[in-house]
């Protein structure tokens, strides 16, 4: 009881301190310095209508590369921690017929929607990470509904590695053409899609990188689910 009381008092002090610090910041007012530059120049410089994905992929591409690396390390860590020579699904009860049939009907739609999210990253909200997570949700649905379902491991892990290499490769091509890593060569050197900003075939390399990230995140999170749901079999 005493511990809890002390924790609450400490939390109240920290909360009051943070509120004092934030009280001077006006909410929702126009105080942008760098943000105004992004909003003014995003269409001419990157060809993307969605400013968020343009910033994430184009202006601040290193952050995205770092995030992808973090996710890859997390997936590798789960794989290493839960590694066993022989692992199997341990579920005993098959899902009801409503669940299995519903999953059969729903999975293609979920996958299609995930693909839609990451292909249209430069036009609509979303991008590689939500799209990949949606695709992983489809695989989660398959795992939950069918007791014998397993992702094809060899193909999945190779796809994951190839997608990660593809991202670095796109950056390296930019290094060769434009002079720095992750240079947007499709937009700034080729001028591809300059006249149809706002349509699908525009946005420089944002759709390409987001397709790569979507595939990578989708396979990675499916791999994590697979590693967590299986149990060791002793023989």
Partner 1 sequence: MNGITFIEYLIVGLMVVSAILAVEWRDLLAAAVGMAAVSLFASLLFFMLQAPDVAMTEAAIGAALSAAVFIFAIKRTQRFETEEEEKPGWWVRW
Shortest spacing between CB 29 and partner 1, in angstroms: 14
Nearer to partner 1, 50 or 188 (CB): 50
Nearer to partner 1, 129 or 167 (CB): 129
Binding status of residue 102 toward partner 1 by CB under 8 A: no
Cα of 177 vs its chain's centroid, Å: 27
Residue 14 exposure: Cα atoms within 13 Å on the Cβ side: 6
Q: Report the distance separating Cα 121 and Cα 131, nearest Å.
A: 9
Binding status of residue 228 toward partner 1 by CB under 8 A: yes
Cα of 38 vs its chain's centroid, Å: 22
Binding status of residue 221 toward partner 1 by CB under 8 A: yes
Choices 101-109, 155-163, 179-187, 218-226; region in contact with partner 1 by CB under 8 A? 218-226
Binding status of residue 48 toward partner 1 by CB under 8 A: no
DSSP for residue 230: E
Shortest spacing between CB 191 and partner 1, in angstroms: 27
**Positions 159 through 178 that interact with partner 1 (CB under 8 A):** none
Q: Dihedral of CA 180/183/186/187: which sign?
A: negative
Choices 10-18, 30-38, 127-135, 204-212; region in contact with partner 1 by CB under 8 A? 127-135
Q: Report the distance separating Cα 83 and Cα 81, nearest Å.
A: 6
Q: Report the distance separating Cα 110 and Cα 103, nearest Å.
A: 10
Shortest spacing between CB 159 and partner 1, in angstroms: 19
Q: In this chain, which of 46, 103, 115, 137 binds partner 1, going by CB under 8 A?
A: 137
Nearer to partner 1, 52 or 173 (CB): 52
Whether 206 contacts 48, CB under 8 Å: yes
**Terminus-to-terminus CA distance in the chain, angstroms?**
48
**Positions 107 through 126 that interact with partner 1 (CB under 8 A):** 117, 125-126
Instruction: Write the CA distances from 168 to 64, 87, 172, 181, integer angstroms.
Output: 11, 33, 6, 9
Q: In this chain, which of 133, 147, 172, 208 binds partner 1, going by CB under 8 A?
A: 133
Q: Report the distance separating Cα 1 and Cα 57, nearest Å.
A: 49
Binding site for partner 1 (CB under 8 A): 1-3, 50, 52-53, 117, 125-127, 129-130, 133-134, 136-137, 140, 221, 224-225, 228-229, 231
């Amino acid at each position: 009881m005493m511990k809890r009381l002390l924790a609450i008092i400490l939390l109240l002090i920290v909360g009051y301190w943070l509120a004092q610090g934030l009280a001077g910041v006006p909410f929702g007012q126009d105080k942008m310095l760098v943000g105004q530059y992004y909003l003014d120049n995003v269409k001419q410089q990157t060809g993307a209508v969605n400013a968020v994905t343009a910033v994430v992929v184009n202006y601040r591409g290193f952050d995205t590369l770092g995030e992808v690396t973090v996710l890859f390390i997390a997936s590798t860590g789960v794989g290493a921690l839960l590694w066993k020579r022989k692992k199997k699904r341990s579920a005993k009860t098959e899902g009801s017929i409503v669940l299995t049939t519903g999953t059969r009907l729903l999975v293609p739609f979920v996958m299609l929607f995930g693909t839609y999210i990451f292909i249209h990253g430069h036009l609509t909200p979303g991008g590689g990470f939500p799209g990949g997570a949606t695709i992983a949700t489809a695989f989660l649905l398959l795992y939950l509904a069918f007791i014998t379902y397993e992702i094809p491991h060899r193909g999945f892990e190779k796809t994951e590695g190839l997608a990660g290499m593809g991202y670095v490769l796109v950056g390296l091509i930019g290094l060769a053409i434009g002079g720095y890593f992750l240079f947007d060569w499709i937009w700034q050197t080729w001028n591809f899609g300059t006249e149809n900003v706002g349509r699908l075939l525009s946005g420089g390399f944002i759709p390409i990188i987001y397709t790569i990230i979507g595939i990578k995140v989708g396979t990675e999170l499916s791999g994590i689910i697979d590693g967590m749901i299986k149990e060791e079999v002793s023989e």
